[in-house]
Amino acid sequence: MGKLEGKVAVVTGGATGIGRAAAKRFIEEGAFVFIFGRRQEALDAAVAELGPNARAMNGSVSNQADLDRLYAAVQAERDTLDILFANAGTGSVLPLGKITVEQIDETFDTNVKGTIFTVQKALPLMAEGGSIILTGSSAGTTGAPAFSAYSASKAAVRNLARSWAEDLKGSGIRVNVLSPGPTATELAKEAVGEEGVKAFAAVNPLQRMADPAEIGAAAAFLASPDSSFMTGSEVAVDGGLAQI
């Protein structure tokens, strides 16, 4: 029996990269998973890989109506929610002096506002023993050149977990942050390009990019009873990048 046997999970940004890897691991551990994302083609491909214990919902975490549809579908089919992996995120490279209003709006609407309402709207479906996992980033600790908007948004996510651990006192629901370092995802490649990927891989002590499955394994740990005495914490899976 898997460590998530019989559990119901939602993974935002679940069609590709870290989200898809986490959804796959959750299912392998016995969970039923709803993946949520903006690209229908990618969602369809993910469900085809993940199998009968996965459902896909199209939408954006920055759209309140889309989140309402997501949780209405979860309630209609499963009636409850045990695990929420608020993983959807975005980022782009612009140095100070060239930052635009559009970049700030897109980054914070997804990474901060989207995370807030992804979690808040899930709470009525969650009960004691529930686990909320937020995707942070090593950049939220270290910063990165031309990546200040993204880095600041992920620092905000780290603080949300600290604050929400207090707000959730007495509920039995845990909230923790999973902070990857350089990971070989589509988002990373789009954000920094092939040369940027090589540069990021070179700066951590392990001198490579993480495989999304390695981050998914850490998400499964935070989702499971193995982390039952953890809340308000940050788990860094960054090859040591932000640790030295």
CATH label of the domain that carries residue 113: 3.40.50.720
Exposed/middle/buried for residue 129 (C-beta within 10 Å: 0-12, 13-18, 19+): middle
Q: Is residue 82 part of a domain?
A: yes
pLDDT in tens, 35-65: 999 999 999 999 999 999 999 999 999 999 9
Q: Is 71 annotated in the active site?
A: no
The Cα 187–Cα 172 span in angstroms is 34
- Looking at residue 196, its pLDDT comes to 75
- Looking at residue 11, its pLDDT comes to 98
Annotated catalytic residue: which of 98, 113, 150, 189? 150
Q: Is residue 244 part of a domain?
A: no
Q: How many domains in the chain? A: 1
Annotated catalytic residue: which of 154, 169, 189, 198? 154
Q: Is residue 242 part of a domain?
A: no
Q: Is residue 29 part of a domain?
A: yes
Residues spanned by the domain of 28: 8-237
- Looking at residue 145, its pLDDT comes to 87
- Looking at residue 191, its pLDDT comes to 66
Q: Is residue 181 part of a domain?
A: yes
The Cα 83–Cα 131 span in angstroms is 5
- pTM given for the model: 0.95
Report residues of the chain scoring pLDDT below 70: 187, 191-192
Neighbours of 240 (CB within 10 A): 14
- Looking at residue 220, its pLDDT comes to 98
The Cα 58–Cα 101 span in angstroms is 26
Q: Is residue 42 part of a domain?
A: yes
Q: Is 154 annotated in the active site?
A: yes
- Looking at residue 197, its pLDDT comes to 76
Q: Is residue 2 part of a domain?
A: no
Please report which residue ranges of 51-171 form alpha helices under DSSP H: 64-77, 101-108, 114-122, 139-142, 148-167
Q: Is residue 3 part of a domain?
A: no
The Cα 18–Cα 222 span in angstroms is 14
